[in-house]
Amino acid sequence: DVKVTQSSRYLVKRTGEKVFLECVQDMDHENMFWYRQDPGLGLRLIYFSYDVKMKEKGDIPEGYSVSREKKERFSLILESASTNQTSMYLCASSLSPLADSTDTQYFGPGTRLTVL
Amino acid sequence: QKEVEQNSGPLSVPEGAIASLNCTYSDRVSQSFFWYRQYSGKSPELIMSIYSNGDKEDGRFTAQLNKASQYVSLLIRDSQPSDSATYLCAGRKYNFNKFYFGSGTKLNVKP
């Protein structure tokens, strides 16, 4: 079974703090993704990575950065947390690069971040 | 137009009935389609994927894809209260990593 884990289930931070969210997958997947999910807005892609040290911006990258130093680990960084970054953050991974139409995304349990 | 659109619901069905969830998609989404179930406070869990026109059955779940009309649906037979959740439709363009997610349809199955 695919296993995607996230470092925290719940996190409370203060405005202006630097926040690190970590995601680890154990299935040797090439692709990893960070989403945020808000009521009424659905899942929105922040960043994704298709290889070590490679990253691409998603739909809402502002205020976030990412790091992928090892294949199994993908970190999301909030450089200076703000209250509008309070959300559920979901990490996902998928196996193959571009060519496989059957490729499926598998999600981690999520981190509910509250910024006060 | 959003790439993938769903009615937000809630859709209410009695226990034992068939629940029908629908999703439409734009030309930017063409190849593979996925249904995820998400319980409140939890992360999305893959239920089914479908890549070809027609029906695909897995237990009580049937996914239907109609590429000419650009819609994909999920039928849940013999609905149970444990099926109460939000169902997310997702699509992917061939040769492209990005998934497009609908905003989800909330299903309530009443005992």
Segment 55-84 of chain B within 8 Å of chain A by CB: none
**A106 vs A11, B26, B36, CA distance in Å?**
22, 23, 10
Inter-chain contact B97–A97, Cβ cutoff 8 Å? yes
DSSP reduced 3-state for A50: strand
pLDDT of residue B95: 63
Inter-chain contact A42–B99, Cβ cutoff 8 Å? no
**Which chain A residues are closer than 8 Å to B103 by Cβ?**
40-42
pLDDT of residue B22: 96
**A92 vs A6, A8, B44, B53, CA distance in Å?**
10, 15, 10, 27
pLDDT of residue A101: 62
Instruction: Find the helix or strand (DSSP H, E) in which B104 lies.
Output: none
The nearest alpha carbon in chain A to B33 belongs to A102
Which residues does chain B have with pLDDT short of 70? 94-95
Provide the β-strand partners of residue A20: A77
pLDDT tens digit sequence for A62-101: 999 999 999 999 999 999 999 999 999 999 998 876 556 6
B46 closest CB neighbour out of A31, A90, A106: A106
C-alpha–C-alpha distance, residues A9 and B2, integer Å: 30
pLDDT of residue A100: 60
